[in-house]
Amino acid sequence: MSQSYTTQMDAARKGILTPQMEQVLANESISKEELMDGLAQGRIAIPANKHHLNLKAAGVGKGLKTKINVNLGVSKDVCCFDSEIRKAQLAIEYQADAVMDLSVSGDTETFRKRLVEQIPVMIGTVPIYDTLTRTGKPTEEITLEEWFETVEIHAANGIDFITIHAGLNQKCARSIKTNPRLCGIVSRGGSILFEWMEKTGNENPFYEHFDRLLDICQAHDVCISLGDGLRPGAIKDSTDAPQIEELITLGELTKQAWKKNVQVMIEGPGHVPLHEIEMNMQLQKKLCHNAPFYVLGPLVTDIAPGYDHITSAIGGALAAMHGADFLCYVTPAEHLRLPTADDVKEGIMASRIAAHAGDLAKGLKGAEIIDHKMSKARGELDWEGQFDCALDPEKARSFRKSSQPEEQEVCTMCGDFCAVKRTANLLKH
């Protein structure tokens, strides 16, 4: 008779190797014992809702490859769910590890069900947004039951992880008022809850009734991604009192969740200058007890609209090097408009480069193998071998095809001056 368990954390604590754990082990260099210990201690999470039947599980956390997430979803101004499905398919094609639906308009539940049915990577949502969309009410008229009804619906739909800004409580709200910022609150979920608390005078419902949230997540094995409602949206606001105040609260909630075997990830900044990224990673790991850390970027400058996939990749690589486990992609359209399919691809590739660079820097076992294989192919002027190793073989092939050399062995950058060609025979002797 098979052993029973409620969540992946519960299974690990009972010594049960789940099918999802086996899937993770097949794609990582970590041992079974290391994986199960990490899950049991909360250092690793495997977001895997019991209702997401076609899921190919992935792990997030210590000792695992840095994962990347793709945000998508419709708005009132651009509301085409078929386009968002195409973006989700692109995420699979370009090897993203997760998809988050941030839709704020239309028939969101039908769209979520389509995602769960068609997309085999872990899927996340933000029920706080959807409560406003689903009810059509002004923020201050949302009831406690309606907040939690939305969470129940998302869990039943098969969503693997949900972002909940439970740490932005009344104490943190006071901090944002007494510590003025250039950009205030830039988190959509954080701003909605801040408005609800300000207009009703009530405590954050997800903070006050956190155990109720845990019961829902435990029943469906939903991982809670504890949102950073007070993440900095400007370099000047980075690592300020409100951000740290909320982070301390998230650490307290993390321990509460683990007591009920609910998996947790912690969301992080935001806009952070290069010299503060390492400190931010260390603070999170310390204050949140080494729970997996999920960062948006971070963006290392505020002045690059149209190129924020690059500012994000710079910060993401450094963040991964210093302990971030999960990078949320940023597209060139960040701060400007809803991203197109082309923007999605650019964002994915930038984040994949950052994630791999971080894995190399922190010495993840086996991360360097593909780089060495690429270098060998370059040293041998083996173009097909180089394409096979490339993160985007299609783009690499198209660049070479667009500018053909006289001698096919080299490229049009150097031609007969190719250093590799000139020294190859000499070094053989």
What is the 3-class SS of 322-369, one letter each residue?
A: CCCCEEECCCCCCCCCCCCHHHHHHHHHHHHHHHHHHHHHCCCCCCCH
CB 302 within 8 A of CB 313: no
Cα gap 55→49, rounded to integer Å: 9
Cα gap 181→238, rounded to integer Å: 10
Tokens at 389, concatenated = 């190793």
- CA 182: distance to chain centroid? 26
Cα gap 255→278, rounded to integer Å: 24
112 is in an annotated binding site: no
418 is in an annotated binding site: yes
307 is in an annotated binding site: no
207 is in an annotated binding site: no
271 is in an annotated binding site: yes
289 is in an annotated binding site: no
Cα gap 72→82, rounded to integer Å: 12
Show the DSSP H helices in 179-231 as ranges: 188-200, 205-208, 210-220
CB 270 within 8 A of CB 235: no
187 is in an annotated binding site: yes
228 is in an annotated binding site: yes
343 is in an annotated binding site: no
Q: Please state, as a whole number, how many other Cβ atoms lie within 10 Å of the Cβ of residue 340.
A: 15
84 is in an annotated binding site: no
79 is in an annotated binding site: no
Provide CB contacts within 8 A for 107, sequence distance 6+.
81
80 is in an annotated binding site: no
294 is in an annotated binding site: yes
Cα gap 15→376, rounded to integer Å: 42
389 is in an annotated binding site: no
Q: Please state, as a whole number, how many other Cβ atoms lie within 10 Å of the Cβ of residue 374.
A: 18
Cα gap 35→123, rounded to integer Å: 21
Q: How far apart are the first and last CA of the chain?
A: 66
CB 320 within 8 A of CB 283: no
Binding-site residues sit at 71, 100, 129, 165, 187-189, 228-231, 267, 271, 294, 335, 411, 414, 418
| Binding-site annotation, residues for [4Fe-4S] cluster | 411, 414, 418
Binding-site positions for Zn(2+) read 271, 335
Binding residue numbers for substrate: 71, 100, 129, 165, 187-189, 228-231, 267, 294
